[in-house]
Structure 1
Amino acid sequence: MGHPAANVEGKKILITGGASGIGAASALLLAERGAKVVIADLSEQAGNEVAEQASAKGQSIVFHKVDVADGESVRALFAFAMEQLGGLDVVLNNAGIDHKPAPMHELSDDDFDRNIAVNLKGVWHCMRAAIPCLLPKGGHVINVASVAGLRSSPMISAYSASKHGVMGLTKSAAIEYAKANIRFNAVCPSFTDTPMVQNTLAQLDERAQNAIIKASPMRRLGRVEEISGAVAWLCSDESSFMNGHAFTLDGGMLA
């Protein structure tokens, strides 16, 4: 039969924020295609449910609790993943939070600090822990950034700043470790239909909700399977010459 396109069979993959949204969809798709996956998240119940969904089909997802904002918690996660999987090929840094849309001058220190702690420093903690694991034989680190990391994002300035920061980390690491055959790329979706985005939309009036949905030329939110399908391709060797890139899935928003 030969291998399917975007073959990830036997790949050892760690996914943060794997209990819901893009992380869960990616984990389930990768496991279905034969990858061995560790998912990590703060939410134990949801994480275990995703793992059980895979196990029921004879597929391999194991859950481990993590707080990406805590460096020690991240180190422990990577030690667990290395032991569980016997190595790592791909790390998908997907854990992230939103913040309530608000004008910049009304943001509290806490709103800003929390976004930076999880969305930026959390990704940095995971990148720093991933590199020693991947140095022996190379690998791929995929950071989930956002179209908000590539353009203006009024009313979600702290989120946008954190995602612009992720782009800076991604590009810098891509050059630093290219010779070691560790690649770094970012996935930049526009608003995608996930629990996190639904939570954001719920805090807005109907006009603001429609503005977000219509911001994409395709006039709809992205679907998780559209993002996870792209992630699966990135996890395969077919993406092997892509490095330091912002892989944008936005229905044409940046065109």
Structure 2
Amino acid sequence: MSRDEQKAGQDRRQEPPIHGPEAFEAMRRAGRLTAEALDLLMEATVPGVTTEALDRLAYAFAMDHGAYPASLHYRGYPKSICTSINHVVCHGIPNDKPLREGDIVNLDICLIVDGWHGDSSRMAYVGEVSRKAARLCDITYEALMRGIAAIRPGGSTNDIGAAIQTFAEAERCSVVRDFCGHGLGRTYHDAPTVLHYVEPSYDVPLRPGQLFTVEPMINLGRPHVKVLADGWTAVTRDRSLSAQFEHTIGVTETGVEIFTLSPKGLHKPLSVA
């Protein structure tokens, strides 16, 4: 979700909701099924497949498991997943163009399971990819995990942003400012807004029971993006490669729980040149 939309939506509720054990159990089920869907999609992402075919696969998986894709028809979005290729930062719309050897693609899916949302995305390699593309994906995954490791009760959302920004910029990459993580649960987008960089004017305390996503978008070039005429697809202005990883998490009494870990261990792309 865009940073501005998320902040505007929170004007009605500044305090992030606090959830109990039953909600955490529901989020484990939603997160697990979302992760299983991503495992399936990653294995199906090969040269020649279309993102439309991946979208159909995701929809069929959701229907077969009593779930529903949250993005389908959300604010007019036409598909069940987002597929963001190479210089596309986020919200790429699946289509009939085949993926090509060397592409990198972000697969982003949110499944509603018994009314609860599990939201996650991963990068996939299409065949053998360049070393610079692989490096970007490695950096982005590490940035995500460093951001999650910074989550603790008594901390704040700027701890997450600091961990991500410090690492990414030390690797000579940039953090996208225009999109953010968000609270979720029974609601798709809720408080808090989770920025992936430090913003002193906006900092939310972290408390046990909060549920939200961490989903940094990292560019090889500059951080600036633009949204195309379709109203959804965001791309890097300088045409540099972009990558993103996302997990849904819950703040616990002692730290953090990740709900969307891959059951097959496919947290990162499968192969590289």
Q: Same fold (TM over 0.5)?
A: no
Q: Which has the higher helix share?
A: 1
1 or 2 for the larger relative contact order (CA 8 Å, sep ≥6)? 2
TM-score computed with the length of structure 2 as normaliser: 0.26
Q: Which has the higher strand share?
A: 2
TM-score computed with the length of structure 1 as normaliser: 0.27
